[in-house]
Amino acid sequence: MHTSHNTTVICGRTIHLPIENVVLSIDELLSTTKQNGTVIIGYDDMHHVQTNNHINAFLHAFDFALDHNMQLGVIEHSWAFTALQNLFQIASQDFEQFNISTINHDVVTVLNSSYVMKSGDEMYYYHSHAPLDEIKMRRIKILRYLWTHPSLNGCSIVRELSLPAQYVVIHNRWMNHHGCLNRLGNLAFLIENRTGIKIDRRAPCLLEPSYIKSVLRIHDFLDTSIPIFVIGDGINPDIIHNLQIDLDIGNRVRTIPQQVSTVSGDMMVAALSSLFIGVPISTLSGNIARARLALGFDEGTNILFPKKRRNSSSDEWEFICQTMECLLDTTFMHNYVG
């Protein structure tokens, strides 16, 4: 089936956005009945978690509002508002098309019964029971808008790196105390218990050269000179070192200079890449992968879930959960879904 496209420019790079029937207006997603008030987020202090947890909590609050036929209210200068403005160039009035209003913090003291207050933690763990195809409609609509309006900081890094037409981004999320391996092991157990599918419990965390080269080979990027950028927490420097000393790809592996690296910049570089290799227990990886699908990148260029290999001596991998529906499904993403 032929898909029509609209051409847009993001950070100086041309992107072909697919024109899809699933991108409905928010009015079409809302019930025709009278709205049941406003759900408000941002009154609390949610600074114990990172930016992408804030983004996920905001998106879940967006779901909560639609699920309950309510308007979503975001308190100005709150964790939710700040997280969005750090990543995207948006103003208060931009929210209106999504049935979202911004609220002055002082108003909170005089709110009436038509307002419902929800904490950031409540919304982070909230998952809609709406059909996945409906949640997909919601996400494509709002994610496409956000990611076509990136922050100036995010764009400046894309331009500063003078990125070629094609490049690869790897997200390295090791975490303290081997947190990546522990969380991935738990997630793999849940996925196998719910679906019978066995995913590899180590490869997305260790990012060994053999794994990366297999992914590159699948996409015909192995025997090329295109650069490979590694973004991440830098907690385990051996991961990048092992990639940089590999005889086949080492001279192509680069990092974003620390003095220019930011969450918004790193995410924008990854979102616009030709191939993204991430880790499923990271909200940052999940949000990058979903953003790329909303922007029209081929689903096969999102690498997060390698299946466990039947023959461990082989360096060939098979990958699952590359569609938007799967990346919005708590069966696979658990609490890492946005």
Amino acid, single-letter form, for residue 286:
G
Measured over the CA atoms of residue 225, residue 155, residue 48 and residue 144, the dihedral's sign is negative
- Residue-level pLDDT at 133: 92
Of 252, 256, 247, 171, whose CA–CA distance to 207 is shortest? 171
- Residue-level pLDDT at 14: 92
From residue 214, give the alpha-carbon distance in Å to each of 165, 198, 208, 217, 314: 22, 19, 10, 5, 10
Residues of the chain scoring pLDDT < 70:
1-4, 20-34, 106-113, 312-315
- Residue-level pLDDT at 114: 73
- Residue-level pLDDT at 19: 74
Long-range pairs of 293-296 with CB within 8 A, sequence gap ≥ 24: 293/140, 293/323, 293/324, 293/327, 294/139, 294/140, 294/143, 294/144, 294/147, 294/324, 295/10, 295/15, 295/17, 295/144, 295/147, 295/148, 295/271, 296/5, 296/15, 296/16, 296/17, 296/18
Q: Could you give the CA distance from residue 267 to residue 69 in angstroms, rounded to a whole number?
A: 32
- Residue-level pLDDT at 75: 92
- Residue-level pLDDT at 2: 45
Residue 120's SS3 state is helix
Q: Could you give the CA distance from residue 189 to residue 270 in angstroms, rounded to a whole number?
A: 28
Q: What domains lie within the chain, and their CATH numbers?
A: 5-151 (no CATH), 154-336 (3.40.50)
Amino acid, single-letter form, for residue 238:
D
Model confidence over 138-197: pLDDT tens digits? 999 999 999 999 999 889 999 999 899 999 999 999 999 889 999 999 999 999 999 999
What does pTM read for this prediction? Answer: 0.94
